[in-house]
Amino acid sequence: MTATNGSEHFDVIVVGAGPAGSAAALLAARAGLKVILIERGEYPGAKNVSGAVFYGSTILNQLIPEWWEQAPVERHVCRRELVLMSPTTSVSLDFRSAAEGYVQPPYNGFTVLRPKFDRWFAAQAEAAGAFLLTSTVVDDLLWDGPQVVGVKTRRDEGDIRGDVVIACDGVNSWLARKAGLQRELHTHELSLGVKEVIGLDEGLIRQRFQLAGDEGMALEYVGAVTEAVHGGAFLYTNRNSLSLGVLAQLSSLVEHKKRPYDLLETFKAHPAVAPLVRGGTLREYSAHLIPESGWNMMPALFSDGLMVAGDAAAFCLATGIYIEGINYAMQSGLAAAEAAILACRRKEFSRYTLSHYMEALRQRNVLTDFQAYRHAPGFVNGERLQNLYPQLAALGGEALFRVDGNRKQKLLPLYWRTLRQVGAKPRHVLQDLYQVARAYLW
């Protein structure tokens, strides 16, 4: 992509062509603003990693009606399974629906491969009039006193000036830190995701996961799948491949001196997973950080001339039940674009005008969702939920379903015995029930 001539001025500069950046650029360009979308990768998506199930179908449908007809999607998700693992056993909650949104469009979720999907989405922003500049790293912000007035790139004549900068530069947002909006992140707030794409015959995928046509499945795992390390795993069906990976809390990885790749191998070898991936061939391997603490690690979201969106703003909802970042990245990118459009109309780019971003985030349910689930990440990464309860469920299941001629126990004494077997204290169970209620029920 050709460079700008260095003296050009833009209404909006968007840094990062992931889902947050392309959404922001698309909406701002459609409003008639002069927009530049700057991406360090050779093309949008080249360096981006997700599972990935995209749950923002209805959001995107408002921007691009029936978008799935033209976008590179893999399968629509009509089946989800949450699996608790011990080293040898698994207990799962299997959800399948024939309701609207699961078997007919607009579907609730699609599996996607990010290099293809991000490239397509950025092309929609270009088609709306945004100028896409790839292979360009943004290094710093340009200032006029307290006001951000552009960005510095690693190019000859690298300064690009603009009225509003939207930082969509991902989890390790250099720009949010440069502007003093984000602090140094702690290792307990971040997880490392390692992922493989494994090629598998389309027919085998349908057979193994009991799917028809373009139906897809999302499986998420907690417990011994990451050994003693706090984390989880996922397995998603694509058209003719599987995306699977392990998410491991950074501080816990260091504490237990584990290598993420070894955890991924343990996951693939688990008796509940091995039959699903058997015979597949490795196509891709990638790794990426995830901002897991959501609300508790959120930076200040705007200042004079600058807004922060997507993972850069920690808008990734990782609650054990949900791992949703792409949809919130889009929603926050759109909210930032709305504030930028207002600022350009008023020709006033101070923090007072850009504070409209907060209102737009609330209207799009971004802040509300993260606030509501603010206790969930801490609970999910707690020791007992990670290691003790999955083992309890597994041992309980083994005892419940074993037929060996001994007297059958009723449920309460059976679970009481299992509780003692795994070393769970009743007062801890009561405390955790309260934590579950606080994190998920009200």
169 lines the binding site for ligand FAD (CB under 6 A): yes
Q: Which 8-state DSSP code applies to residue 427?
A: H
Q: Are 413 and 254 in contact (CB under 8 A)?
A: no
41 binds ligand FAD (CB under 6 A): yes
Contact between 193 and ligand FAD per CB under 6 A: yes
CB of 23 to ligand FAD, least distance (A): 8
Residue 157, burial from CB neighbour count under 10 angstroms (0-12, 13-18, 19+): exposed
Q: Which is nearer to ligand FAD, 174 or 415 (CB)?
A: 174
- Compare residues 50 and 418 and give the one whose CB is closer to ligand FAD: 50
Task: Give the whole-angstrom CA distance, residue 192 versus residue 289.
Answer: 5
The DSSP annotation for 296-319 comes to GG----EETTEEE-GGGGT--EES
HEC string for 359-393: HHHHHCCHHHHHHHCCCHHHHHCCHHHHHHHHHHH
Q: Which of residues 287-306 bind ligand FAD (CB under 6 A)?
A: 288, 290
Written as one letter, the residue type at 363 is: Q
Q: Which two tokens stand for residue 151?
A: 């960005």
In the complex, least distance from residue 440 CB atom to ligand FAD, rounded to whole angstroms: 19
- Write the single-letter amino acid at 355: S
Candidates 164-172, 199-207, 271-279, 294-302; binding stretch for ligand FAD (CB under 6 A): 164-172
Question: Considering the rule CB under 6 A, would residue 244 count as an interface residue with ligand FAD?
Answer: no
Q: Is 177 in the site for ligand FAD (CB under 6 A)?
A: no
Q: Give the residue, chosen from 73, 160, 326, 422, that forms a contact with ligand FAD under the rule CB under 6 A.
A: 326
Does position 280 bind ligand FAD by CB under 6 A? no
Binding range to ligand FAD, per CB under 6 A, among 35-43, 68-76, 158-166, 396-404: 35-43
Q: How far apart are CA 202 and CA 440, in angstroms?
A: 37
CB of 358 closer than 8 Å to CB of 367:
yes
Residue 170 binding ligand FAD, by CB under 6 A: yes
CB-nearer residue toward ligand FAD: 253 or 394: 253
Binding site for ligand FAD (CB under 6 A): 15-21, 38-41, 44, 47-53, 55, 137-138, 168-170, 174, 193, 195, 245, 288, 290, 310-312, 316, 323-327, 329
